[in-house]
Chains A and B, each alone.
Chain A
Amino acid sequence: MARFGETVGRVATLPLVLIARAFDPVLRLWQRGTGTGGMVAFFLLPNMAIFGVFVIIPLVLNFVYSLTGGTNILLGDRSFIGFGQYGRLLECGNYLQPLTCREDQFWTAVRNTSLFVLFQVSLMVCVSMITALILNRNIAGRGFFRAVFFFPVLLSPVVVGLIWRWILQRQGLMNLIVTNLGFDPVVWLNDRFFAFAAAIGVSTWAHMGFYTLILLAGLQAIPKDLYEAAEMDATPPARVFWRITLPLLGPNLAVVLVLALIRGVQIFDEAYVLTGGGPGTSTLFLTQYIYEVGFASFLRNPGLAAAASILMGLVLVVLTLIQLGLSRRAERGNTR
């Protein structure tokens, strides 16, 4: 089996080897002319050029966009208006009531995203924590069950959205279950409450496997002798959990929490395919707002979209900095 894989690998990489060999003489000349430093530049160039063009430049341009007005997306045709877009986004009678704001859609999206993050992240952490604890037990078929929970993580958001749209439609599986339990069928995605709940449930379903694995890695790094000692002292299991498992899992749990927050703030794909932001604006989230104001809707306003994305980016930067600090601590904890 291993030898078979090796042969396949060799045949598959053969064209690449030939290409690489063809570059040999050219690059040898380049190296002779520029020295090792020139080669370092050569190795870094493709990646850094793409980084520069498609990440760094857009990042800078984003600020420029947010200071300009008009509906044209080409920067040359846009007029400088200062901080007007930010003012427009932030102008509001009462931030808790989106309809009193000038950009009511933006604040609806902010409110929806905050509620979504609050409930989805709590649900996600609870569910993946329980799953990780169960998978960490000494059960038969552990490897299989670990993989099971990872399956939806690989599915595309479009597939996830469509699978659940199909289950939640009027004649769908969910209504079959509900009517068998003696309730009336519901058109789930036409109901404001259920559509929102579905967005939370479906995104949790799709991503919990990923967080479960992070937590499981943390659980397995906890030294077994701690548990043995606790068993000898006849410590009650609840106490073992609160005093040993939870504190030692702390860093991993924190990583999961912040990572889920970061992803939750950016929620778009599966929710968009599932509900399209509806019914009404009940599942309109920030990324969809940015996408629609920037590209899709009648009232296109790229400057406004850029300003909104910068505000969202600020939140993400703070969350990411926390995450980087925490994951460094988690790494140290895991290797200890």
Chain B
Amino acid sequence: MSAIKNFIFRRRGRDGGWHWTDIVTWVWLIGGTILMFGPALWLVSSSFKGPAQLAEFPPTLLPYVQEVATVEGHDAPLPLFEATMEDGTTRILAEIRRIGTSAQMVDPADPGERISVRLTDRTPLREVGLAVDNYVDPFLSFDFMRYLGNSVFVTMAATFLTLLTNSMAAYALSKYRFRGRDAVMLLIIGTLMVPLSVILVPLYSVVSAVGLLNSLWGVILPTIATPTGVFLLRQYMLTIPDELIEAARMDHASEWQIYWRIILPLAAPALAVLAIFSVVWRWNDFLWPLIVLSRRELYTLQIGLNTYAGELNVQWHYILAMTVVTMIPVVLVFIFLQRFITTGIAGAGIK
């Protein structure tokens, strides 16, 4: 037991005491954990609150819903309130309707008697509960299903094409000697210097010239020839021994067969890293789809979300729920990958 305790609270202090750096470390790590996850958790919690609760201040930590009761003589369930009566006692009453500054209420146990209560004399009865409508409505009545579909299509198509074209180029650049190879490599590295924001206007006119404006392919195609991907795959393929290729050629394998039967399976770890990068990049893309897509039915999730959030009358209860939906794939990537985060991504990211 004390071994476990010693392991968890490994300290710098020689005599088992707390050195100041130990305190700083744990304050920083625990504070950091709250700061990194807290905002997302707050978003998730808020996304289950109804519109009325979202407008309240101070906000509650957990989502609540108003309790309701079915009362004889009324078809729909009525909301329950705790009302203070004139004699100072409190009773639990259901609201039938509001009239001006007072409400007509009824005791669920005694449906015959109508009681008039001023609005200021009552507080709603609430219990912890989830406003699931926030999630259901956007899919039924807004275009969110379509946005989701567009995002999934763009992400999958772009990732597939990125892996294919980048691995083919990387194979040629790592396993063949030909004139101009260094020039091609230099060109690819050079394009690292050309971020989207620098070529926005001409890229738009090129995409419009090839007829891809307002098309999901106009979003996909310009993104797939990533210099990072070619670089990453080439570096990895350089470590695959040439003898394997020579042996395959002896067996009359064609160059295309060597590529997909030998090189691709062996480069699987690098391909997996690039696939994950590509999924996150394309799912999160914002500026370029914002420019190419102007028809609503083509919006990706990110653009749709930004459009709804930019409207004059922001419907936060829907936006928060859809933000959570948008976050889900990335959270899944995070959960599956956190073991590898420290090793692989840092090295690849520098380039």
Question: Measuring CB to CB, which residues of chain A are less than 8 angstroms from any residue of chain B?
Answer: 9, 17, 20, 23-24, 27-28, 31, 36-37, 39-40, 42-44, 46-48, 50-51, 53-62, 64-65, 73-75, 130-131, 134, 137-141, 143-152, 154-159, 162-167, 170-173, 175-176, 179, 185, 205, 209-210, 213-214, 216-217, 237, 255, 259, 266, 268-269, 273, 276, 286-287, 290-291, 294-295, 302, 305-306, 309-310, 312-313, 316-317, 320-321, 324, 327, 330-331
A27 to B286 Cα, complex, angstroms: 38
Given contact pairs A53-B206, A140-B10, A156-B284, A150 touches B256 in the complex (Cβ within 8 A): no
A209 to B341 Cα, complex, angstroms: 10
- Shortest distance between the CB of A61 and any CB in chain B (Å): 4
- A159:B39 contact, CB within 8 angstroms: no
- Which B residues touch A171, using CB under 8 A? 54-59
Q: Which of B77-85, B86-94, B125-133, B320-328 contacts A (4 or more CB under 8 A)?
A: B320-328
- B204:A294 contact, CB within 8 angstroms: yes
Chain B positions 169-200 with a Cβ under 8 Å from a chain A Cβ: 169, 171-173, 176, 178, 184, 187-189, 191-195, 197-200
- B201:A134 contact, CB within 8 angstroms: no
Of A46, A56, A74, A170, most B-chain CB atoms within 10 Å: A46
- B286:A151 contact, CB within 8 angstroms: no
- A213:B341 contact, CB within 8 angstroms: yes
A238 to B4 Cα, complex, angstroms: 30
Chain B positions 284-332 with a Cβ under 8 Å from a chain A Cβ: 284, 286-287, 291, 302, 305-306, 309-310, 316, 319-320, 323, 326-327, 330-331
- B326:A51 contact, CB within 8 angstroms: no
- A39:B256 contact, CB within 8 angstroms: yes
- Which A residues touch B121, using CB under 8 A? none
Tell me whether B339 is interfacial, beta carbon within 8 Å.
Answer: yes
User: Of the candidates A31, A172, A324, which one forms a contact with B254 in the assembled complex, judged by CB atoms under 8 Å apart?
Assistant: A31
Q: Which of B30-38, B63-71, B98-106, B110-118 contacts A (4 or more CB under 8 A)?
A: B30-38
- B287:A73 contact, CB within 8 angstroms: no
The chain B residue with its CB closest to the CB of A30 is: B256
Which 4 residue pairs of A and B lie closest in terms of their CB atoms, listed nearest first? A156-B284, A147-B338, A61-B202, A47-B169
- A43:B259 contact, CB within 8 angstroms: yes
- Which B residues touch A58, using CB under 8 A? 199, 202-203, 206
User: Of the candidates A24, A44, A53, which one forms a contact with B210 in the assembled complex, judged by CB atoms under 8 Å apart?
Assistant: A53
- Shortest distance between the CB of A199 and any CB in chain B (Å): 15
Contact with A along B193-228 (1 / 0, CB 8 A): 111011111111111101000000000011011000
User: Of the candidates B260, B287, B320, which one forms a contact with A268 in the assembled complex, judged by CB atoms under 8 Å apart?
Assistant: B287
A290 to B306 Cα, complex, angstroms: 19
User: Of the candidates A157, A167, A273, A295, which one forms a contact with B291 in the assembled complex, judged by CB atoms under 8 Å apart?
Assistant: A295
- B286:A61 contact, CB within 8 angstroms: no
User: Of the candidates B37, B319, B346, which one forms a contact with A213 in the assembled complex, judged by CB atoms under 8 Å apart?
Assistant: B346
19 contacts between A and B (CB under 8 A): A50-B225, A54-B203, A54-B225, A61-B206, A134-B28, A140-B10, A147-B338, A147-B342, A156-B284, A157-B284, A159-B326, A176-B57, A213-B345, A217-B346, A255-B350, A295-B200, A313-B194, A316-B193, A327-B350
User: Of the candidates B193, B198, B203, which one forms a contact with A310 in the assembled complex, judged by CB atoms under 8 Å apart?
Assistant: B198
- A156:B197 contact, CB within 8 angstroms: no
Given contact pairs A58-B202, A276-B310, A24 touches B256 in the complex (Cβ within 8 A): yes
- A62:B39 contact, CB within 8 angstroms: no
Tell me whether B278 is interfacial, beta carbon within 8 Å.
Answer: no
A59 to B190 Cα, complex, angstroms: 12
- B25:A214 contact, CB within 8 angstroms: no
A164 to B8 Cα, complex, angstroms: 33
Tell me whether B119 is interfacial, beta carbon within 8 Å.
Answer: no
- B327:A173 contact, CB within 8 angstroms: no
User: Of the candidates A139, A266, A306, which one forms a contact with B10 in the assembled complex, judged by CB atoms under 8 Å apart?
Assistant: A139
- B195:A266 contact, CB within 8 angstroms: yes
Tell me whether B244 is interfacial, beta carbon within 8 Å.
Answer: no
A324 to B37 Cα, complex, angstroms: 33
The chain A residue with its CB closest to the CB of B176 is: A40
Tell me whether B165 is interfacial, beta carbon within 8 Å.
Answer: yes
- Shortest distance between the CB of B236 and any CB in chain A (Å): 15
A64 to B205 Cα, complex, angstroms: 12
Of A36, A144, A154, A327, most B-chain CB atoms within 10 Å: A154
- B346:A316 contact, CB within 8 angstroms: no
- B254:A148 contact, CB within 8 angstroms: no
- A158:B306 contact, CB within 8 angstroms: yes
